[in-house]
Amino acid sequence: MESLKERILKEGKALNETVLKVDSFLNHGVDPKLMYDMGEYFKKYFEKHGITKIFTIESSGIAPAVMTAMQMDLNMVTLKKQKSKILNGGVYQTTVHSFTKGLDYELTLSKDYISKDDKILIIDDFLANGEAALGAIRLVEEAGATVGGIGIVIEKSFQPGRKMLDEKGYDVYSLARINKLQKDIIEFI
């Protein structure tokens, strides 16, 4: 997606070999027009996959996931990272390690929002080591549903996430694939 790549080059900041800061348009400030366009790209790629619901992990994946759900006329479900007083029992949970934050968290899905007949499209903001995607996949598959695809806004292709998901047979579609990051250097595939 050329407009996304241009935005990354213009406003993104490569802080080091693994961290790309894009908070001005993706995850702190949000550009709704760009998110809408991302939704169109994800729809075009996944529209023949038989998707029944869009899933994302809070919170940075919400904007592109909402726009994808809107484009595909489907419901969206947010997988929770934070503990909730109202989500007791009736949930699927898995532990995910965040390399960015250096901690583990419980990813939670209410059983009310998934059925065995669902074919889920997982949308996330970044793919690096693949831990978040694998956590979402575990929840979907524990519920007996199917992962129909994984849509990623920005993929760090030099990290192992993509290779791991490809080897497991998941259909991964990324809007921007980064080949190399260094301080102040961003190179796309």
The per-residue pLDDT for range 43-97, each reduced to its tens digit, is 999 999 999 999 999 888 999 999 999 999 999 999 998 766 666 679 999 999 8
Residue 86: what pLDDT? 66
Q: Is the pLDDT of residue 99 over 80?
A: no
As annotated, the binding site includes: 20, 27, 128-132, 156
Residue 28's pLDDT is what?
87
pLDDT tens for 144-186 read 999 999 999 999 999 999 999 999 999 999 999 999 999 989 9
Known binding-site residue numbers for 5-phospho-alpha-D-ribose 1-diphosphate: 128-132
Residues 54, 148: Cα–Cα separation, whole Å: 10
CA 114 remoteness from chain centre: 18
Report pTM: 0.94
The CATH number corresponding to 2-188 among 3.40.50.2020, 3.30.9.10, 3.20.20.120, 2.40.110.10 equals 3.40.50.2020
Tens digits of residue pLDDT in 127-142: 999 999 999 999 999 9
Length of the chain: 189
Residue ranges of the annotated binding site for xanthine are: 20, 27, 156
Q: What is the pLDDT of residues 1-45, one digit of tens each?
A: 999 999 999 999 999 998 999 999 998 899 999 999 999 999 999
Long-range own/partner contacts, residues 81-85 (CB < 8 A, 24 or more apart): 81/57, 81/105, 81/106, 81/107, 81/108, 82/58, 84/108
**What is the phi/psi pair of residue 17, to 5°?**
-70, -10
Tell me, what's the pLDDT at 84? 63
Listed by start position, the domains of the chain span 2-188
